[in-house]
A and B are shown apart, each in its own frame.
Chain A
Amino acid sequence: MTTDVQDTGKAAPSVNPPDEEPPGASRSERLSTLAQQHGALVTLVVAMVAASLSFDTFLTGDNLENMAVSSAFLAVVALGMTFVIITGGIDLSVGSLFALGGVLAAWGSRYGTAVALLLPLAVCGLIGLVNGVLIARSRLAPFIVTLAAMLGARGLMLAVTDEGSQTYLVDKDTFFATLGQGRLLGIGVPVWITVALFVLGAVVLRRTRFGQYVYAVGGNEDAAALMGAPVARTKIAVYTLSGLCAGLAGALNAAWLVSGVTILGSGMELEAISAVVIGGTLLTGGSGFISGSLVGVLLLKVIQNVINQIGSLDSAYQQVVSGAFLAVVVIAQTWLGRRRRVL
């Protein structure tokens, strides 16, 4: 007697099985969920195997190390972006914030490591906070608010660097420089920091109440509000977090390059969004996971690396490939999503 509801959920054993829900629909659905969640990982493995078979230079310590470190900064940006996208939003300001964070860190490094880290975090976090308030409280569209912030942050960065003419250098002997340049157990410090942040991010997203709110807000904002989730505060928090991540990534990048380079970061928002979406997070919100974004970043970097290895190809191919990738993933997501709505 207690099983009838369960059955209904699985295969709808109604007297007249409607054609759109054949028995086993949920199995194919679970398969498609699996594809959404782990498709990127499988692709990454395939790409890496193919790359290492094709190029002797791919599977070398130097190359892998290089890829890992250069992935680290994008990964940190993508980490914050994952939270934003799960709430159903988007943050286009991260590229500018990344550049701004780098410049501020390089400038602040002369006053010590604490300033070099805290200054970019404070400024970028504040901009993220303003984004969040405008989006959550004034109910403005996320893309336009963060697009404006992108411009504003770029302006701020130019203002700090005498219209881009000034490049601040980081003293190589400081502790701050070690954060970028140093190595631990043969692996660059930025990689360690990134891994730590991802573990922390995953725990926050999966195991804290805040994380649950992030999913709930993105999954069904009205229902979340009715169930008592602090919708506005959650949104403000994720945009602040995204700003913080972008600022920190910029600072680490400055430490790695030992200078605050002003021309970096443009287009990074697109890379980050691509990585997150390729990693299986739905752009419509409510579903996604941190490790997927890491896989997405690595996949983009492997593609980039392969394109670089093919000497004749320009690095611009990477953008074409990731744009096409993004389109394919989004189409697949939309189709999967549509089929689910029918159920």
Chain B
Amino acid sequence: MLSVSGLTKTFPGVRALSGVDFTARAGEVHALIGENGAGKSTLIKVLTGVHRPDEGEVTYDGSPVRFATPLQAQHAGISTIYQEVNLVPLMSVARNLFLGREPRGPLGLIDFRRMHREADAALRELGVRVDVRRPLRELGVGVQQMVALARAVSVDARVVIMDEPTSSLEPREVRTLFRVIRMLRERGIAVIYVSHRLDELYEICDAVTVLRDGRVVHTGRMAELERLRLVALMLGREIGEVQGEGLTKFSGGHDAEAEPVLRAEELTVRHELHGVSLSVRPGEVVGLGGLLGSGRSETAKAIAGALPTDSGRVLVAGVPVRPGSTPAAIRAGISLLPEDRKAEGIVPGLSVRENIALAALPGLSRFGLVDEGRIDRIVDTFMKRLRIKAAGPHQKVGELSGGNQQKVLLARWLAMQPKVLLLDEPTRGIDVGAKAEVQKLIDELADDGLGVLLISSDTEELIEGSDRVVVLKDGVVVEELTGDAVTEDRLMRAIATAPAGTGDPDD
């Protein structure tokens, strides 16, 4: 139905896709999986006309096509259901369903009675019964997704792309969604399903394509691919690969009796985390493992007070931290290097110097006046120590390379003399040399007695950098690897483990 061949797409500095072949067949649910940066979203964007490919061909219904806009792709019958529902929340269900193609009576006025009837019928067909006159926002996310699906189906979509559709659904909503997906399959619609929840993939998908680093590393029938093998493919590691290559820096030799500097107890955030507990001792690097969407970043944010928790508490050196307050967490000595460096980390318009001094400013000021001399000294120290490469302290951070931006952020937090560093993907999107430097820094910092919580999609980095690894899956701690058990093999097995029962994972 929809296929691409030899697809290559390059962004400045990054080759997002290279020579990708992918085929979605009618009446088949095709899983598209891969870790962050594997090229999934780029592929989807090429399919839906957001990006144009540099090389390669998109074939739709037997003939080559080139969509200029998402709208064109939609008119041709390719609909996308995004993670965040792309509808108008304040408008009613029926209006959303029919926007732009409302049934009209004489005088060109909209025939609401007919519209409501048809909207009701369309949703009923998907097994959803809901008052179509109600504003969309009053309904649950699940129903909203159904409406988006119904819209896709009613515009005669022949290919439906779903990007992480279940990420904020209740278990029973997921079941309804799956029923609808099966219905679509029976109607001969090609479904491309993007998700990180392995259990779901095996339940609903027929075929699977695994992407890594912009290439297809596997494609075939879903049922024929073993769980463990799938995880290995995604992470790019071989099962049973020798663990000797890992030079685990601190082979758990730290004083295991030492009082943890950070303790998180039973952190719960609706839809995201379910009773996550972990602890970090001074001088220890604790890895947080798991696939994308397993709750790693959310755990870090909850600890740093940037994500309000429903229950649970965080203690630093035994003292509870006021929940839900970033300043309180920072005062307690918790520093977070956020995953989205560009949007949440750096302040792009300010200089390297201002960025480094930003969080520590109150401490570097007297009567509200900035002590420029002290800032200069601190900035100088850290620029040297972290080997930040910039034209000078007054260069804008937005102009630096990713690695140097990351170092600036590290410097910002080190200037605060934190007790715990939470590093969320510290080496993502930075070049190899800088990566090694950042990794070395992490080691040094831990040696200095800092507690480090490390999140990384790079398994090698995670395994080699961490003394212990806490494995998350769907917002739950499923295993904790310590000592000799800190191996990629064990990590992958922990991730791949099927749930004990078929019960709801969050209860």
Interface size of B in residues (CB-CB distance below 8 Å): 44
Please measure, in the bound complex, the distance between the C-alpha atom of A20 and the C-alpha atom of B269, giving whole angstroms: 12
Whether A1 contacts B127 by the Cβ 8 Å rule is yes
Given A5-B142, A228-B74 in contact, is the A12-B170 Cβ separation under 8 Å? yes
Contact with A along B172-183 (1 / 0, CB 8 A): 110110000000
Whether B99 contacts A9 by the Cβ 8 Å rule is no
Interface status of A203 (Cβ within 8 A of chain B): yes
Least CB separation from A228: chain B residue: B100
Whether A2 contacts B128 by the Cβ 8 Å rule is yes
Q: Smallest Cβ distance from A156 to chain B, in angstroms?
A: 36
Interface status of B303 (Cβ within 8 A of chain A): no
Given A14-B170, A15-B507 in contact, is the A287-B138 Cβ separation under 8 Å? no
Partner of A229, one of B99, B170, B507: B99
Most buried by B among A5, A6, A18, A218: A5
Interface status of B372 (Cβ within 8 A of chain A): no
Determine the chain A residues whose CB is within 8 A of the CB of B142 once the complex forms: 5, 8-9
Whether A224 contacts B99 by the Cβ 8 Å rule is yes
Q: Smallest Cβ distance from A219 to chain B, in angstroms?
A: 4
Interface status of A215 (Cβ within 8 A of chain B): yes
Determine the chain B residues whose CB is within 8 A of the CB of A2 once the complex forms: 124, 127-129
Determine the chain B residues whose CB is within 8 A of the CB of A282 once the complex forms: 90
Stretch of A53-61, A127-135, A191-199, A205-213 with 4 or more beta carbons under 8 angstroms from chain B:
A205-213
Partner of A6, one of B102, B112, B128: B128
Given A2-B127, A215-B95, A219-B91 in contact, is the A8-B170 Cβ separation under 8 Å? yes
Interface status of B139 (Cβ within 8 A of chain A): yes
Least CB separation from A230: chain B residue: B100
Determine the chain A residues whose CB is within 8 A of the CB of B99 once the complex forms: 212-213, 216, 224, 227-229
Least CB separation from A216: chain B residue: B88
The count of A-to-B residue pairs whose CB atoms sit within 8 angstroms is: 121
Determine the chain A residues whose CB is within 8 A of the CB of B139 once the complex forms: 9
Please measure, in the bound complex, the distance between the C-alpha atom of A118 and the C-alpha atom of B138, giving whole angstroms: 45
Please provide the chain B residues from 95 to 114 with a CB less than 8 Å away from any CB of chain A in the complex. 95, 99-100, 102, 104, 108-110, 112
Whether B88 contacts A220 by the Cβ 8 Å rule is yes
Interface status of A340 (Cβ within 8 A of chain B): yes
Interface status of B401 (Cβ within 8 A of chain A): no
Interface status of B454 (Cβ within 8 A of chain A): no
Contact with A along B111-129 (1 / 0, CB 8 A): 0100000000000100111
Interface size of A in residues (CB-CB distance below 8 Å): 44
Most buried by B among A212, A224, A340: A212
Interface status of B87 (Cβ within 8 A of chain A): yes
Please provide the chain A residues from 4 to 48 with a CB less than 8 Å away from any CB of chain B in the complex. 4-6, 8-9, 12, 14-16, 18-20, 26, 29-30, 33
Determine the chain A residues whose CB is within 8 A of the CB of B151 once the complex forms: 227
Interface status of A223 (Cβ within 8 A of chain B): yes
Determine the chain B residues whose CB is within 8 A of the CB of A33 once the complex forms: 135
Determine the chain B residues whose CB is within 8 A of the CB of A1 once the complex forms: 127
Please provide the chain A residues from 213 to 258 with a CB less than 8 Å away from any CB of chain B in the complex. 213, 215-216, 218-220, 222-229
Q: Smallest Cβ distance from A341 to chain B, in angstroms?
A: 9
Interface status of B71 (Cβ within 8 A of chain A): yes
Please measure, in the bound complex, the distance between the C-alpha atom of A180 and the C-alpha atom of B137, giving whole angstroms: 45
Please measure, in the bound complex, the distance between the C-alpha atom of A225 and the C-alpha atom of B138, giving whole angstroms: 22
Interface status of A312 (Cβ within 8 A of chain B): no
Q: Smallest Cβ distance from A13 to chain B, in angstroms?
A: 9
Interface status of B245 (Cβ within 8 A of chain A): no
Given A9-B130, A215-B95, A228-B74 in contact, is the A4-B172 Cβ separation under 8 Å? yes
Whether A219 contacts B172 by the Cβ 8 Å rule is no
Partner of A209, one of B110, B173, B504: B110
Interface status of A3 (Cβ within 8 A of chain B): yes
Pick 18 A–B contacts, CB within 8 A, sort by A. Answer: A5-B128, A5-B130, A5-B142, A6-B128, A6-B130, A8-B143, A14-B172, A16-B507, A20-B270, A207-B109, A207-B110, A212-B95, A226-B74, A228-B71, A228-B74, A228-B100, A286-B88, A287-B90
New A-B pairs, 5, CB < 8 Å, besides A15-B504, A26-B138, A209-B100:
A9-B142, A203-B109, A215-B90, A282-B90, A343-B138
Chain B interfacial positions (CB closer than 8 Å to A)? 70-71, 74-75, 86-91, 95, 99-100, 102, 104, 108-110, 112, 124, 127-130, 135, 137-140, 142-143, 146, 151, 170-173, 175-176, 270, 310, 504, 506-507
Closest 10 CB pairs of A and B: A219-B88, A9-B139, A286-B90, A207-B109, A219-B90, A223-B86, A8-B140, A220-B88, A287-B90, A228-B100
